[in-house]
Structure 1
Amino acid sequence: MSEAQPGVRRTRNPRGEGSRLRGEILDAARELLQEGSGAVTLRAVARAAGISAPSIYRHFEDVDAVLRAVVDEAFADLARRLREAAAGASTPVGRLVAVCEGYLDFAREQPQRYRLMFGGVWDASAGADEAQRAERAGMGMDAFAVLVERLAECVEAGASTSADVPADAVALWVGLHGLADLRTTTPLFPWPEGLADSLVRSLSRLDEGPLREA
């Protein structure tokens, strides 16, 4: 992205194209996060987008709002990818395993974005009032719902002994997140082969049948 030159003003988007500028702002924020070059500030985002910092205020009240929008998009993308992963399998257990693998793949392929989603760059609770905290508590629930749905399907099929699907889905998410995070922070650790499968089987309370389709 080109940086705005001193004394040169960015051409204003025609009427009705304000959403394009909003998208460019989010693209710039994502690029900065991917580079991992330092703190994401309004000034840095503006430079990356080739606009003046005040131009951002027409779409976002502060950098917190910019990062929140990036996080919302990331969780929506994760939920979409998990549903697509499930759609590629034909059995309940196969769909659950595909979702878990899709989760770990997302974290591995987009580490900076993933880190932002889970507080590594932006703290959703920092400076938030009670109403904002309540609203932000729902972040990521669409992605979490995919785990719940797939685990519930396994229970219905008799492949899982879970007696509390929501609680076990939380445990599964915690396990997946822990593995994803540790793989990033301790890449030289001798991770055992098949660890992810063992984690999924244990936390999902799956029977001893095959995890993958023949």
Structure 2
Amino acid sequence: MRLLDRAPASGLSLRTIAREVGVAPPSVYSQFPDARAMLEFVARECWQQLADAMGLAEDQCAESATSLKRLKAQLAGFVSYAMERPSRYQLLFGFLVDTGALPDEPGLLQPVYRSVLRGVRAIGDDGMPFAADDPITATLQIISLAHGRVALAHLAPRHPGNTPAAIIAFVHSAIERLFD
């Protein structure tokens, strides 16, 4: 993970990892048969870290917080993770594209997807209507919205509107419109 925090995933190799941890390359090869297997392992870890960041942000809400506020907190955790760890975040979606992995493969997108879906369903259970046809569509809209805004910010990180706070405000505003 330290390597990812310093450089993009494209610079990861089994030899680079071996050098970073101070072992001979064959030691790493005994853990991973190839670079793709290693990247898949790292991507799974990053997906779980992202879901954990979302859960932690939601857990920091008061028990009396509305389901909408709890969902917004999750998405603030999503944006914060993505903006604080751009190489890790970019690996998540780059790995899916580069390898042809499907988002519904166990362990990839699922922790994040399930967290948002749970939040969307809670909002529905509270009687708040949402603009989407069903909770699954609303969940996909929310994840797409947050991911799209983060991806745009990663393209121009120094633009004043691309701070984590500004992106969170944008995502929160859009979520409010979805559940208006």
Give the TM-score range, shorter chain. 0.7 to 0.9
TM-score (norm 2): 0.83
Compare relative contact order (CA 8 Å, sep 6+) and give the higher one, 1 or 2: 2
* Structure 1 pair 182–150 and aligned structure 2 pair: CA distance change class (3 A): same
Q: CA deviation at 1:34?
A: 1.6
Residue from 152, 167, 173 that aligns with 2:121: 152
Aligned with residue 84 of structure 1, among 56, 66, 79? 56
Distance 1:168 1:42 in 2: 39
Contact 2:96 2:103 in 1 (8 A): no
CA contact (8 A) 1:147 1:169 kept: yes
Kindly provide the amino acid, as one letter, of the partner of residue 4 in structure 2: L
Unaligned runs of 5+ in 1: 1-29, 126-132, 208-214
* 8 A contact 1:100–1:200 mirrored in 2: no
Q: Deviations over 1:121-177 (max 9, x none)?
A: 98232xxxxxxx469733121111000000111111122324410011001100000
Partner of residue 2, structure 2: 31
- Aligned twin of 2:76: 101
Q: Which residue of 156, 164, 167 corresponds with 2:134?
A: 164
Match of 1:4 in 2: none
Give the length in aligned residue pairs.
Answer: 169
Look up the match of 1:10.
Answer: none
TM-score, with normalisation over the residues of structure 1? Answer: 0.71
* 2:40 alignment partner AA: R
What is the distance in 2 between the residues matched to 1:160 and 1:106?
29
For 2:153 and 2:38, the matched residues in 1 are separated by 28
Q: How many angstroms apart in 2 are the aligned matches of 1:31 and 1:195?
A: 30
> Could you list the runs of 5+ residues in structure 2 that have no partner in the other structure?
none
Q: Pick from 93, 104, 113 the counterpart of residue 118 of structure 1.
A: 93
Picking from 139, 150, 154, the partner of 1:184 is 154
Map of 1:206 onto structure 2 = 179
Q: Distance in 2 between matches of 1:121 and 1:143?
A: 14
- The structure with the largest helix share of the pair is 2
Q: What root-mean-square deviation, in Å, do the aligned CA atoms of Structure 1 and Structure 2 show?
A: 2.4
Q: Deviations over 1:69-101 (max 9, x none)?
A: 111111111112212222222211110110111
After TM superposition, the structure 1 stretch with the greater mean CA deviation from structure 2, 69-78 or 115-124, is 115-124
